[in-house]
Amino acid sequence: MLRLRAVNQFYGQHHILWDVDLDLAPGSCTAILGRPGMGKTTLVNCIMGNLPINSGTIEWQEAGAPAENLLAYPAAQRAAMGIGYVPQGRLIFSQLSVEENLHIALMAGQADRHRAIPGSVYDLFPALYSLRHTRSGELPAQQLQHLALARALVLEPRLLILDEPAEGMTPWLEEEMGNIIDRLNRDYGMTVLLLEQRISLIRRVAHYFCVLHRGRNVAQGRVAQMDDAMLESWMIAV
């Protein structure tokens, strides 16, 4: 579905990503982990088109179709192609209602102006339906996170990128977030790219992992191969 080869990215003279390779298989959940400042969010911004890359390739491939050069498409068009993104910090429009936030996401994704919010969004988050006319700034933390997810899901993406979705969550909310990711991945067949520092969540929901250290993918494989000694060697808390 998504394939990165030898991706390099610079901020000015600073080399941030170094020859990063990554493969996301359809229907899989892959976790990107590493300490803060190691290039995880930069990598996602390159995939989404928010940052240019200096060299390398990023390819997008739908089932039964030839691979496409994702770099040829601007950020808004990448969302319309089927890539959803929930950024760290959520970035909700707090003065707008739940429903208005969802409609803005539809328009930002270049969807038909008259397109309705998919019923699957309210099936996943039924409480948001009853709160749809509520100003988003009045929502509790749990519903804010649901809204951030729902906003990415209105375009019915085939790849969903989640940046630190469990940040600041209690163990109970982390468990709920794991249930949601499981359901999207298993029941909806959605491919998930998860940027996360909570190893407990990664071990529960992900099939594959990739460790970024100073912008390089220094370890990767199946989550079953991810042991504590390897994590500690890259200074990742287990």
pLDDT exceeds 90 at position 54: yes
**Residue 216 pLDDT class (50, 70, 90 cuts):** very high
The answer to whether residues 177 and 165 touch, using CB atoms and an 8 Å cutoff, is yes
Nearest alpha-carbon partner for 83 in 188, 159, 193:
159
Alpha helices in the chain (DSSP H): 40-48, 75-81, 98-108, 119-124, 126-130, 141-153, 171-186, 199-205, 228-233
- For the stretch 116-132, pLDDT in tens is 888 889 999 999 999 99
pLDDT for the residue 76: 82
How confident is the prediction for the chain on average, in pLDDT?
89
The answer to whether residues 41 and 163 touch, using CB atoms and an 8 Å cutoff, is yes
Q: How far is CA 151 from the centre of its chain?
A: 12
The answer to whether residues 182 and 189 touch, using CB atoms and an 8 Å cutoff, is no
pTM: 0.90
**Residue 110 pLDDT class (50, 70, 90 cuts):** low
**Residue 92 pLDDT class (50, 70, 90 cuts):** confident
pLDDT exceeds 90 at position 89: no
The two three-digit tokens of residue 58, written as one number: 């990023």
Q: Could you tell me which residues come within 8 angstroms of residue 176 by beta carbon, excluding any fewer than 6 positions away?
A: 142
Helix (H) or strand (E) holding 31: strand 29-33
Could you tell me the domains of the chain?
Answer: 2-82+159-233 (3.40.50.300), 94-156 (no CATH)
The answer to whether residues 57 and 5 touch, using CB atoms and an 8 Å cutoff, is yes
pLDDT exceeds 80 at position 226: yes
Residues 7-24: what's their mean pLDDT?
94
Residues 198-207: what's their mean pLDDT?
92
Residues 9-31: what's their mean pLDDT?
94
